[in-house]
Amino acid sequence: MRTYVAKGEEAEALKEGANWFVVDATDQVLGRLATKVARMLIGKDKPSFTPYLDSGDHVVVINADKVRMTGNKVEQKVYYSHSGYPGGLKEVPAKRLRATKSDWMIREAVLGMLPKNKLRARRAKKLRIYRDAAGLARQRWAEAATDGAVRFLSSTAFRLCV
């Protein structure tokens, strides 16, 4: 059997037709959540998946403050960033970062699981993360998204659905 490859008008339709998914991160493990969200951004679960096209969906993650980390990662995991200057390495433990920038932690985990190619930036723009559920109501894009089909995935439904 031959491999499916979208061509012509079908390929153009794949680029435009993106669904919106709202994922509730309450009590979900950080890494497992990130892998599922990354697969949705890539479009890997679709039967019309084509590796060189951005056929993924828009994903909105809410309640990022309530994401869970297993084992001793809260105390032991360290996030690194560098300013570019000599001696500019910054180390921030996950415990301190979780209290202030839990949305950034999820973004880093998801972006680390996306393929490093030219489609990465376009796929990353389709990811929106909010620390609480109220962030969903404050955004202008939510009005545009409600015109189409928006699927709300709670923590239990997300585990079963994806």
pLDDT tens-digit map of 133-157? 887 777 666 655 555 556 666 655 5
Give the model's pLDDT for residue 130. 93
pTM for this model (two decimals): 0.84
Distance of alpha carbon 70 from alpha carbon 59, whole angstroms: 24
- The mean per-residue pLDDT over the stretch 32-56 comes to 90
Q: Which position has the higher pLDDT, 31 or 1?
A: 31
Q: What is the pLDDT of residues 26-38, one digit of tens each?
A: 999 999 999 999 9
Q: Which among 149, 123, 147 has a CA at the least distance from the CA of 37? A: 123
